[in-house]
Amino acid sequence: MGRNGTHPTRLKSVNPAPKSSARTATGPASSAYAEAFVPEPDGAAAARGRADDLGLECISPGVAAALALLARVLEARAVVEIGTGTGASALALLAGMAADGVLTSIDAEAEHQLAAREVLTAEGIPSRRVRLIAGQALAVLPKLTDGAYDIVYVDGDPLEYVEYVAQAQRLLRRGGLIVLHHALWQGLVADERNDDDEPLIIREALQAVLADESFTPVLLPLGDGLLVAVRS
């Protein structure tokens, strides 16, 4: 049963926005200000350059700041990342993690991980702090240890997000965080009339987190949307 006593499959895909007198700081100017507020870590520009060359997307500066903060709050020592890309999110997570923390980062494309390794090495990050695993996330994740991770950061194939949530549930320790990027997928997740595969499946993944009472979630409109939930 879900947290409202309804069966998870019957939950609405998007809750109706409640009427509220609370002020909100929405709009492009506030969004741009928030995104640029915290300077990016050294090396982010190099990661972006390599991503452009490979036709890949990177996290936004605001998402990078959030990842570093969350890793710092938890003093994270063991983090799983799904979707290494060229290393922008890895740099942010490592900037917040404990000095002896190890990031396990999975990507299906060895070429992306090669670029990420070069970016991280140029920033002086010792190779022992980043365990890069080349492979399909759904083949690799089941081999990782239950309850052993402080954060599972999801930025891989959006069509596999529901399975990633199930894996994160298993991998996280109590008090650990699932952090799911692209949670608002170009604004299309909030548009209930849109039934493209990505927004549909991301909505399903968000509802799986919401319906799981062991998670306390928040959905943040940073970058392409960031769902953060702590596992109790």
Ligand X SMILES: C[S@@+](CC[C@H](N)C(=O)[O-])C[C@H]1O[C@@H](n2cnc3c(N)ncnc32)[C@H](O)[C@@H]1O
Contact string (CB under 6 A) for ligand X, positions 163-202, x = contact: ----------------------------------------
204 binds ligand X (CB under 6 A): no
Number of neighbouring beta carbons within 10 Å of residue 31: 16
Question: Tokens 């990016």, residue?
Answer: 40
Is residue 64 within 8 Å of residue 89, measured between CB atoms? yes
Cα separation, 43 vs 23, in Å, equals 36
Q: Which of 155, 203, 222, 224 binds ligand X (CB under 6 A)?
A: 155
Give CA angle at 202 (30, 12), nearest 5°: 95
89 binds ligand X (CB under 6 A): yes
**CB 74 to ligand X: min, Å:** 19
Residue 122's identity, in one-letter code, is: A
107 binds ligand X (CB under 6 A): yes
Q: Which of 83, 176, 223, 225 binds ligand X (CB under 6 A)?
A: 83
Q: Which of 150, 160, 212, 224 binds ligand X (CB under 6 A)?
A: 160
Cα separation, 97 vs 112, in Å, equals 22
Is residue 86 within 8 Å of residue 109, measured between CB atoms? no
| Contacting residues toward ligand X, per CB under 6 A | 47, 56-59, 83-89, 106-109, 112, 136-137, 155-157, 160
